[in-house]
Amino acid sequence: MPSQPSKTLETFPNPAPERDYQIHIEIPEFTCLCPKTGQPDFATLILDYIPDERCVELKSLKLYIWSFRNEGHFHEAVTNRILGDLAGALSPRFMRLTARFYVRGGIFTTVVAEHRKPGWQPAPRVELQDFPLQTNIR
């Protein structure tokens, strides 16, 4: 049986809940419909999150994203809806969804929405010195 779109987001236990680490997902084929004209809107979604106890299962994410294909949504509304659904399913420490909609009528739109778990603070970023390669080793 072929896959069907679904609003169900499946999760699995975070394999390393003791540490903060980033999960980066790019979804270059998001589509929904313009609620005014019914014409298709295309976007690349970029999801970055720091999981807490749960991670999103990627096939369910694909089917969830697919479920918007025939629905009318304003860019701002659909971006915040997807972020809200993902944050609700995962309760991540931090999550950012960037939706880069392709040009329509000469206008590009990018919507960025964030979720932060109450009380969570990121660890300070560590910058490491970049050393040049030694080419004259004797």
List 34, 48, 55, 130, catalytic entry:
34
CA-based end-to-end distance of the chain: 63
Question: Minimal CA–CA distance to 75: which of 35, 29, 24, 26?
Answer: 35
What is the CB neighbour count within 10 angstroms for residue 133?
5
List 41, 55, 85, 130, catalytic entry:
41
> Can you tell me the distance from the alpha carbon of 43 to that of 2, in angstroms, rounded to the nearest whole number?
24
- Based on the residue annotation, tell me whether 85 is a catalytic residue of this protein: no
- Based on the residue annotation, tell me whether 41 is a catalytic residue of this protein: yes
Catalytic residues: 34, 41
